[in-house]
C-alpha cells in the first residue's frame, strides 16, 4: 500500500474515515492536491478488500476549489443521495459521506468549513443575477434544464469575481446562489442527504435538520427573507396552492412525496418558516427494523401474523416517532387478493400489492372552495367494496367512521393517532369520536372502541433519537363499569444508557397470550 505523509490534525486539509460493521474505523489524513485512490487493489491509498468494491473504485483530489471525486467503478459511488458513476464532480461541502460497496467513507475538509459571507454581498449578487437574466419573468414550474443552469453559473462566476469574495469561497457561493435562484437554495443538499429525515427552517438564517434522530444546526442560510419566500412559492405554486398575507399557512407535498408546511408573517414572527418531512425513498422491512433495534423479531412476527389474521390495529405515538413507517410495513403484510383502500391527508404510504386504491384529501382551492376532508373519503370508501381500509391518521371526526367500518365487515383495517401510550390512545380516540358531531353518549363510544379495536401498537422516539415499538397491547373488551379493558403483550423495558448516550434495554413478552392465539395457529397452518 502506498504511504503518504500524514499531517498533524491541526494542519490536515483532508481527513478520510472508513466505517464498516464489526471492524474498527480507519482514519487517515492526506495532503492537498494529491490524487487519493480508493479501491480493492492493495496498491490503493485506501484498500477496501471486498468484492463489491472495484479494483480502483474512485479517486479523490482535494484543492482550493473543493473535493473532486472521479468514479471509475462498475457499481458507482453514492455521494449523499446521488449516484456518481463513471464521471467527475466537485463538491464544496465541509463534510461528505460516500457509499463505496458496503463501506461508509467520510471525507472531512476543515478548510472548506463555511466562512461567513456578508449578507449584503449575497443579496447584491442574487439581485444582479435576477436582473441580468430576468429570472423573475421565467416560468416557475417545470424542471430546470442544464442549459439554464449553465447560463446561470456563468453569469454568477462573473458577478462573484466582481465582489470581495475569497477565491476558496467562490465555488461554494456560485453553487448556493444558483440553487437559491433556480431550486430550493441551501435545502438542495439537505434533501439529497439520506441521513436527514426532517428539515426545519426557523428563519432565513437558522436551519436545523433531524439526522439519525437528533436535531442539528446546519450552519446553512438563505440570502434573506425574500429568498426564502421565493423558495416556498417555488414549492407550492405548481401544486395550485398559494401563500400570502391572506393565506399565511400552507401544506404541500414535493414530487418525491416529502411533506411541506410553510408559515409566513404575520403569523411567523421571525420571518418565513418552513418544515419538510422527507419521504423515505429506500424501502424498509421488518428485518431492517429488527436489525436497527426498533423491535424484536418475535414482535415483528406477531404483528405480521396479526395482520394476516385480520386484526384491527391502531398505531399510536408522538410526532416523528415512525408511525407512518410502521403502518406501511404492516400494510405490506396484507395478503394478495384483497382490495385495499388507503386514505391520507398527504400521500405517504407505498403499498406493493396490485389491488390498492389510494385516496388523498384535498384542501380548499384559491377561491376557498373544493375541500374534500378525510372523513368524506372514509365514508366514500365504504361504498367501494374494500376488504380493508387504511387511514394514514385519525385526527378528527373520521375516527368514528373508521371504528364503524372496522365493526361492519372491514376487519384488518389500520390507522394511526397521536398519543403517548396505548391508554392515552384510547382516550384520544374517544375525544375524536365525540368531536364527530354525532350525538353519542360516552358509553356508546367506549362500546364501539371495545368491539372494534384489537391491537394498540405504541411507537416512541427515545431520548437518544432512536425509534422503538415500546408496547403492543390487546383490547379485550369492557369491564362491569364500562371501561375498556386492555392487556400488554410486549413491552420495551429501558435499563439505562451506554457510554455513547445510547438507550439500553430489552424487548420482553409479558407472559400473557393473545386471545386470538388459536387463530394464529390456524393461519400458520394455512397453505400459501
3-state secondary structure of 328: helix
pLDDT digits (tens, 9 = 90+) for 198-232: 999 999 888 999 887 788 888 788 878 888 888 88
Q: Does domain 9-112 have CATH number 3.40.140.10?
A: no
> How much is the average pLDDT of 99-128?
70
Across the strands, what pairs with 46?
38
> How much is the average pLDDT of 357-374?
78
Pairing of strands 388-391, 414-418: parallel
Query: How is domain 119-277 classified at the CATH fold level?
Result: Beta-Lactamase (3.30.450)
- What pLDDT shows up at residue 22? 57
Work out the mean pLDDT of the chain and round it to a whole number: 82
> How much is the average pLDDT of 497-504?
84
pLDDT of 337 higher than 90: no
Report the share of the chain in percent with pLDDT over 70.
86
Sequence ranges of the domains in the chain: 9-112, 119-277, 286-524
3-state secondary structure of 220: coil
pLDDT band (50, 70, 90) for residue 142: very low
C-alpha cell, 230: 421565493
- What pLDDT shows up at residue 194? 77
Please give the class, per CATH, of domain 286-524. alpha beta
268 to each of 185, 254, 262, how far by Cα in Å? 20, 22, 9
- What pLDDT shows up at residue 287? 87
pLDDT digits (tens, 9 = 90+) for 271-286: 899 999 887 766 678 8
**Cβ-based neighbours of 526, under 8 Å, separated by 6 or more:** none
Separation of alpha carbons 291 and 468, rounded Å: 12
pLDDT of 178 higher than 90: no
Q: Which residues of 168-192 are buried (b: 16+ CB within 10 A; e: fewer)?
A: ebbbbbbbbbbbbbbebbbbbbbbe
> How much is the average pLDDT of 503-518?
92
Separation of alpha carbons 317 and 196, rounded Å: 20
Separation of alpha carbons 499 and 503, rounded Å: 10
Separation of alpha carbons 433 and 399, rounded Å: 6
Lowest mean pLDDT among 119-123, 251-255, 443-447, 465-469: 119-123
- What pLDDT shows up at residue 113? 55
pLDDT of 165 higher than 90: no
Report the share of the chain in percent with pLDDT over 90.
28
C-alpha cell, 339: 382490495
Lowest mean pLDDT among 21-30, 72-81, 212-221, 479-488: 21-30
Separation of alpha carbons 335 and 352, rounded Å: 11
Nearest to 218 by CA among 236, 193, 251: 193
- Global pTM? 0.67
Amino acid at each position: 500500500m502506498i504511504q503518504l505523509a500524514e499531517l498533524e490534525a491541526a494542519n490536515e486539509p483532508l481527513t478520510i474515515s472508513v466505517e464498516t460493521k464489526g471492524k474498527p474505523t480507519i482514519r487517515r489524513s492526506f495532503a492537498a492536491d494529491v490524487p487519493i485512490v480508493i479501491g480493492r487493489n492493495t496498491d490503493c491509498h485506501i484498500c477496501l478488500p471486498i468484492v463489491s468494491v472495484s479494483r480502483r473504485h474512485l479517486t479523490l483530489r482535494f484543492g482550493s476549489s473543493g473535493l473532486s471525486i472521479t468514479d471509475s467503478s462498475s457499481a458507482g459511488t453514492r455521494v449523499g443521495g446521488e449516484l456518481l458513476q463513471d464521471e467527475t464532480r466537485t463538491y464544496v461541502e465541509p463534510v461528505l459521506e460516500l457509499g463505496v460497496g458496503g463501506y461508509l467513507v467520510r471525507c472531512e475538509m476543515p478548510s472548506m468549513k463555511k466562512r461567513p459571507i456578508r449578507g449584503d454581498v449575497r443579496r447584491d449578487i442574487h439581485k444582479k443575477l435576477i436582473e441580468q437574466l430576468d429570472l423573475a419573468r421565467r416560468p416557475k414550474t417545470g424542471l430546470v434544464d442544464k442549459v439554464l443552469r449553465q447560463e446561470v453559473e456563468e453569469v454568477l462566476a462573473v458577478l462573484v469575481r466582481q465582489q470581495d469574495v475569497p477565491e476558496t469561497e467562490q465555488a461554494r457561493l456560485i453553487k448556493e446562489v444558483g440553487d437559491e435562484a433556480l431550486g430550493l437554495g441551501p435545502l438542495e443538499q439537505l434533501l439529497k442527504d439520506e441521513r436527514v429525515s426532517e428539515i426545519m427552517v426557523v428563519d432565513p438564517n437558522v436551519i436545523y435538520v433531524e439526522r439519525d434522530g437528533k436535531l442539528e444546526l446546519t450552519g446553512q442560510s438563505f440570502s434573506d427573507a425574500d429568498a426564502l419566500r421565493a423558495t416556498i412559492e417555488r414549492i407550492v405554486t405548481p401544486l395550485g396552492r398559494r401563500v400570502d398575507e391572506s393565506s399565511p399557512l400552507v401544506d404541500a407535498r414535493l414530487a418525491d412525496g416529502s411533506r411541506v408546511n410553510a408559515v409566513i408573517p404575520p403569523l411567523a414572527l421571525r420571518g418565513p418558516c418552513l418544515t419538510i418531512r422527507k419521504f423515505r425513498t429506500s424501502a424498509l422491512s421488518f428485518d431492517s427494523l429488527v436489525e436497527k433495534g426498533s423491535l424484536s423479531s418475535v414482535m415483528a412476527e406477531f404483528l405480521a401474523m396479526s395482520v394476516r389474521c385480520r386484526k384491527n390495529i391502531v398505531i399510536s405515538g408522538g410526532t416523528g416517532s415512525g408511525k407512518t413507517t410502521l403502518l406501511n410495513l404492516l400494510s405490506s403484510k396484507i395478503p394478495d387478493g384483497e382490495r385495499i383502500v388507503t386514505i391520507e391527508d398527504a400521500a405517504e404510504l407505498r403499498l406493493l400489492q396490485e389491488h390498492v386504491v389510494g385516496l388523498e384529501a384535498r384542501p380548499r382551492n384559491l377561491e376557498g372552495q373544493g375541500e374534500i376532508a378525510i372523513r368524506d373519503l372514509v365514508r366514500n370508501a365504504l361504498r367501494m367494496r374494500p376488504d380493508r381500509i387504511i387511514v394514514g391518521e385519525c385526527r378528527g371526526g373520521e375516527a368514528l367512521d373508521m371504528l364503524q367500518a372496522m365493526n361492519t365487515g372491514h376487519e384488518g383495517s389500520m390507522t394511526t393517532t397521536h398519543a403517548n401510550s396505548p391508554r392515552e390512545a384510547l382516550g384520544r380516540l374517544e375525544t375524536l369520536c365525540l368531536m364527530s358531531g354525532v350525538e353519542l353518549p360516552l358509553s356508546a363510544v367506549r362500546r364501539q372502541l371495545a368491539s372494534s379495536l384489537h391491537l394498540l401498537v405504541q411507537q416512541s422516539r427515545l431520548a437518544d433519537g432512536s425509534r422503538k415499538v415500546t408496547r403492543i397491547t390487546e383490547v379485550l373488551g369492557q369491564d362491569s363499569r364500562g371501561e375498556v379493558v386492555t392487556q400488554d403483550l410486549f413491552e420495551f423495558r429501558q435499563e439505562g444508557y451506554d457510554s455513547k448516550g445510547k438507550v439500553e434495554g430489552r424487548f420482553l413478552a409479558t407472559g400473557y397470550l393473545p386471545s386470538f392465539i388459536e387463530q394464529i395457529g390456524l393461519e400458520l397452518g394455512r397453505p400459501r
